[in-house]
Amino acid sequence: MHWLQQLFTKPKRKLELAVTLWPSFPHFEKFATSKDIAGIRMNTAMVDLDSLDAEFGIATKIPNSVPLWFDVKGRQLRVTEVFEFPDHLELKINHPIEIPAMRYRAIPVLFKAGSDHCLLSEIKDNNHLIFHGGPEWRVKVGESLHVRDKSFKSFGPTFLDFEKKKIEKALKAGIKRYYLSYVESQKDVDEFIELVGKDAEIILKIESLKGLEYVSKFKKKDNLTLMAARGDLYVEIDKPHDIIAALKLIINKDSEAIVGSRIFLSVVKDAVPECCDFLELAWLHEHGYYRMLLCDEICLKDELLSNAVMAFNAFRTTI
């Protein structure tokens, strides 16, 4: 036995890697037929409804493709319109919200997975947000945002008509596997099953404090799998180091849970991953995670994704 293998004496499941791609990407077929990939997630956040049929058409023509998963946005706040002014920014969002604390102070709102921010000073008609000034980078339609205040509440239907139309097109294309974003209650799950059918496989993305509360009461079922969706979860938790307890909770409640985003991000700038990337994978694996998903940014370009997959394969040889 090689000396490296002696360090990992605890039996582990075979590592699985999923990626985020659209069929129209020039490198889609390369990874859709790769033995190194266990599944492909189709992220619908920025997609045009009219283009879905064509995307599904491309995907279904590829023989021996890995399983396709369709990501549906539930409660997640998304930008629907952007109004730029010389001295401030205004947005419209997909779900109506209330923030009682705004009567006393401006509320911080995070953009771009927490790397940008701005102060929210007014809300009109529950979905028109007016900011004091603006964030550093331009905000685009389809992007997510995070309201950093405990008095924040969103309401209205979980699944908007736009999302239901996406689901209808996915069902028509024969899709049976789904990700559901921002799961926060059993009601969210039950409503989604009514839309996609009881025979669908569903990955429940945990991305908020309410989502973690749901996990604490979660009962494992064959067609339901938890996911630690760290891109948003890390932004939504109260304190950064709480991510450790959150990850442990999720894998303890579901031994088949998936962990996604913020993996191998250093390959965006350098072909060789940072030391911390490999150590993080080892920590996740030692705590029971064997199914992992790369984030959108890495998967947008063939070169970046190829480097990440190569590094992941190298990690596989050490366990």
Note the pLDDT tens digit of each residue in 190-229: 999 999 999 999 999 999 999 999 999 999 999 999 999 9
For the cut 60, the answer to whether the pLDDT of residue 1 exceeds it is no
The residues facing 130 across adjacent strands are: 90, 122
Region 76-91: mean pLDDT is 94
Region 244-250: mean pLDDT is 96
Q: How confident is the model at residue 12 (pLDDT cuts 50, 70, 90)?
A: low
Long-range contacts of 219-224 (CB under 8 A, 24+ apart): 220/253, 220/254, 223/198, 223/199, 224/189
What is the pLDDT at residue 142?
Answer: 87
Stated pTM of the model: 0.91
What confidence tens digit (pLDDT) does each residue in 33-56 have? 999 999 999 998 777 788 899 999
Quote the CA–CA distance of 176 and 166 in Å, as a whole number: 13
For the cut 50, the answer to whether the pLDDT of residue 4 exceeds it is no
Quote the CA–CA distance of 84 and 89 in Å, as a whole number: 5
What is the pLDDT at residue 13?
Answer: 77
**Mean pLDDT, the chain, whole residue set:** 92
